[in-house]
Chains A and B, each alone.
Chain A
Amino acid sequence: MVSTLTTNERLFALIISALVSICGLALAAVGRQDLLAAQGFIIMVFGLACVFAVAQGFYEPEPSKERLSSYYDDPIKVGIALAMAWAVFAMFIGVWIATLLAYPELTFDQGWASFGRLRPVHTTGVIFGFGGNALIATSFHVVQRTSRARMPDQLSPWFVLAGYNLFCLLAITGYLMGITQSKEYAEAEWYADIWLVIVWVTYFILYIRTIARRKEPHIYVANWYFMAFILVVAILHIVNNLAIPVSLGHAKSYTVWSGVQDAMVQWWYGHNAVAFFLTAGFLGMLYYYLPVRAQRPIFSYRLSILSFWGITFFYMWAGSHHLHYTALPQWVQTLGMTFSVMLLVPSWASAGNALLTLNGAWHRVRDDATLRFIMVAVVFYGLTTFEGSFLAIRPVNSLSHYTDWTVGHVHAGALGWVALIIFGSFYTLVPSLWKREHMYSALLVEVHFWLALVGTLVYVFAMWNSGIVQGLMWRTYTEEGTLAYSFVDSLVAMYPYYIARAFGGLLFLLGAIVGSYNIWMTIRATPLTSRREIDVPQSGAVVVPGE
């Protein structure tokens, strides 16, 4: 890794790592009366590990100039490995907390193992650990290929990747210790949030610089989506996490928003995190790996434009549909609902564009489990966006809100769309990145596909049933006009669905483990490809140097 950095970059890497460890030491010192000390210690150890890693390769020979006529793929490889590691870890936590709902004694009387702490570990681990690393890795790959340009330097991608994973690590260890700012999907406290801003801005600048160096006249659709993802996530993250720490020596902070404004900002963030992290980013992934794997042109450029601007414009308004029938003024709810309805067609246009791209390649979908991963992901994407607009309609929401239906909806998106598109993309990317003939085992890809599909279906059907049963029980009245069921009655009715959900999640986890093994063996035990494909920025031409 270090050997691919120039001497200057090695020096900068060393300085940045040292600064990080000094910051960690400082936090540990001023926060010694607080849990912040433990977090500072983690930062310090992380920084020192980076210092050692860089120092070890510091005096290795400079990389040759020839590297500049090839793409810079090393950080992508590490990103893929990290994504799969986070997937297995966070999905395991998911199965654990799913089981916890049916068998609450599985906390073993440990505070850190209570549902309230493990749940953000699961959500952060899956969304940011697995999804985020996959997005960073694939976006580095896609932007270089579709721009025919190497990333401008070797250090920023490593800074983004390592810095981002430090954020995830701080967030998750914090939750286990009981540190949280109690904002869903934004639980990490102020020091981690500030760090993520630094990392994310670097990511944005790196992306823009790479695109600025492109040798194609047009910017490809995938890059529109990746840029929207990076830019908007930065805005969302900064606004929602504006907070004032109790003191610089405490992990605890208080948000600057209060009351219903806080709720609105939180769900503006929460919904657009779904929109721009879990949708736009992964649409970027889809728009590259689908046509590559299917070997088909994108069905319609015009449809791409329509859906991109539709999604980016309408999504921004839809967050208030998370707050129907609350203290939020009704006019805001109406806007959230109607914009969610108008969002449906642009969303479906993306799904339709992807499925119609497969015309002429359906025989490949049948034979190739990797392409099938992508195809089924698109189907789940269409299903989930329809469901999202449907659940945003106020009267529907009055039945579904606060029930497991929402959980089912989220997992139809997270398992069916996000995870499947990642797996499909990774199975496409891994052999080409490591220059292997094929994946280690096509059979294991097939096994993974079926485990993932069946797991998702079991999970989603269990939660649909559970959610609708719950919603109906909560609104059933007796002839006398009193509630027919207590809350506990509805919990008892959930029991079989909770067991089914945990089983579905377990199947999905097993699939991720099979996938990790397959990727590992592809790297370790599959022969190099004999094909000499041209995978360089611009064949035979002089490349603008990175430095």
Chain B
Amino acid sequence: MEVEERDPVSGHRTTGHEWNGIKELDTPVPRGVLIFLVITHVFAVTWWFLMPTWPLGTTYTKGLLDVDQRAIVEQQLVDAAAERAPWIDRIERASFEEILPNEMLMSIVQSSGHQLFGDNCAACHGVDGRGSANYPDLTDDDWLWGGDVETVAETMRVGVNTEHPESRVAQMPSFGRDGLLNREQVNSVAAYVYSLSNPDYSTSENIDEIEAGREVFLTSCAACHGANARGNQDVGAPNLTDAYWIYGGDLQTIVTTVHGGRHGHMPTWDERLTNAEIKILALYVHSLRVEKP
């Protein structure tokens, strides 16, 4: 080993070690590295003095700035609530009739409702509120429990088929599976229901089946859906004569629905959202509908 060996490129000495051809230079640590090292350590130590840092058994060094992340969060929540208080109070106190014509309040409803709807409702009803398979469209005129703002707010508060004591309750029985109707009756009543929204379906060929279906409908379905099949919002029974369908309006899906029944669910938002937030969402949903041409 030649200790005085020098690297021709850098001019530095080697350490005199060699591993399978690899050598090392004995270059001193560059001054910049040491300066930078000192700076980061000074920063860290200063930070230790300012912030809660070192554990001391049951407590810890609190730091000169007396910062506590829990206190900060609590203060931030108080500040945020105070910032929103003026308009939140107004929305909580005012009736829907008073809010609807108020442009200032309605613009707040638009901006905060968008986020509330996106984070709480959009998973089922879609970002635009147009629903999806098995979840109702909120932008149309067809409502199970009523579409005025108060009723929509109440539906949000108690939910549908939930554990809330005041929950809206609705169930369409499984007529076929539970043997309330036989297969022929299920098919005929489905044909009748289908013909209500598809008048072209009533041809001379299947007029008899549709007639038979009408008889079944009057005895088995009219109690909820009404003799005219236009539904009943008191019991959450949908209108069967229009073009709006939650589970699908084709003949096969109607047969499936009559056979197996339906038991929809919407969560209660009573404890998850504040009263003001529910009001904002009801108004926001309302605005989705009126904006439609």
Contacts and interface: CB of A to CB of B under 8 A. Distances in A.
B118 interface: yes
Interface string B40-63: 110110011001111100001101
Given A345-B37, A349-B33, A302 B28 contact: yes
A288 interface: yes
A316 interface: no
Contacts of A216: 17-19
A480 interface: yes
Contacts of B40: 341-342, 344-345
Looking at chain A, what size class is its interface with the partner chain? 35 or more
B115 A482 contact: yes
Contacts of A59: none
A339 B118 contact: no
Contacts of B63: 334
A34 interface: no
B19 A146 contact: yes
Interface string B135-155: 000000000000000000000
A298 B7 CA distance: 10
Interface stretch (A259-267, A270-278, A484-492): A484-492
Nearest to B7: A297
A333 B52 CA distance: 9
Interface stretch (B8-16, B173-181, B191-199, B225-233): B8-16
A298 B26 contact: no
Contacts of A224: none
A78 interface: no
B111 A301 contact: no
B17 to A, nearest CB: 5
A298 B127 contact: no
A540 interface: no
A227 B293 CA distance: 72
B14 to A, nearest CB: 6
B112 A300 contact: no
B22 A325 contact: no
A346 B51 CA distance: 24
B292 interface: no
A407 interface: no
Which residue of B52, B67, B68, B115 has the most chain A CB atoms within 10 A of its CB atom? B115
B112 A297 contact: no
Contact of A334 (B20, B52, B84, B127): B52
Given A344-B40, A481-B84, A292 B26 contact: no
A331 B54 contact: yes
A345 B10 contact: no
B222 interface: no
Given A145-B20, A345-B37, A360-B9, A334 B25 contact: no
B111 A478 contact: yes
Contacts of B122: 486, 488
B41 A298 contact: no
B73 to A, nearest CB: 8
A141 to B, nearest CB: 10
B36 A338 contact: no
Contacts of A300: 12, 24-29
Which residue of B7, B61, B69, B119 has the most chain A CB atoms within 10 A of its CB atom? B69
B217 interface: no
B25 A325 contact: no
Contact of B118 (A346, A481, A486): A486
B48 to A, nearest CB: 6
Contact of B69 (A298, A330, A345): A330
A306 B60 CA distance: 31
B59 to A, nearest CB: 9
Contacts of A341: 40, 43-44
A216 B16 CA distance: 12
B80 interface: yes
B101 interface: no
Interface string A183-217: 00000000000000000000000000000000011
B106 to A, nearest CB: 12
B33 A303 contact: yes
A218 B52 contact: no
A330 B197 CA distance: 64
A291 interface: yes
A483 interface: yes
Contacts of A492: 127
B115 A483 contact: yes
Given A360-B9, A486-B122, A334 B26 contact: no
17 contacts: A148-B19, A292-B22, A296-B9, A297-B23, A301-B25, A302-B27, A303-B29, A325-B69, A331-B60, A334-B47, A337-B47, A338-B44, A338-B47, A480-B84, A482-B112, A484-B111, A486-B118
Interface of A: 145-146, 148, 216-218, 220-221, 288, 291-292, 296-304, 306, 325, 329-331, 333-335, 337-339, 341-342, 344-346, 348-349, 352, 356, 359-360, 478, 480-489, 492
Given A303-B27, A335-B53, A481-B83, 14 more contacts: A292-B22, A299-B10, A302-B26, A330-B51, A331-B52, A331-B60, A341-B44, A342-B41, A345-B36, A359-B9, A360-B9, A486-B115, A487-B119, A488-B119
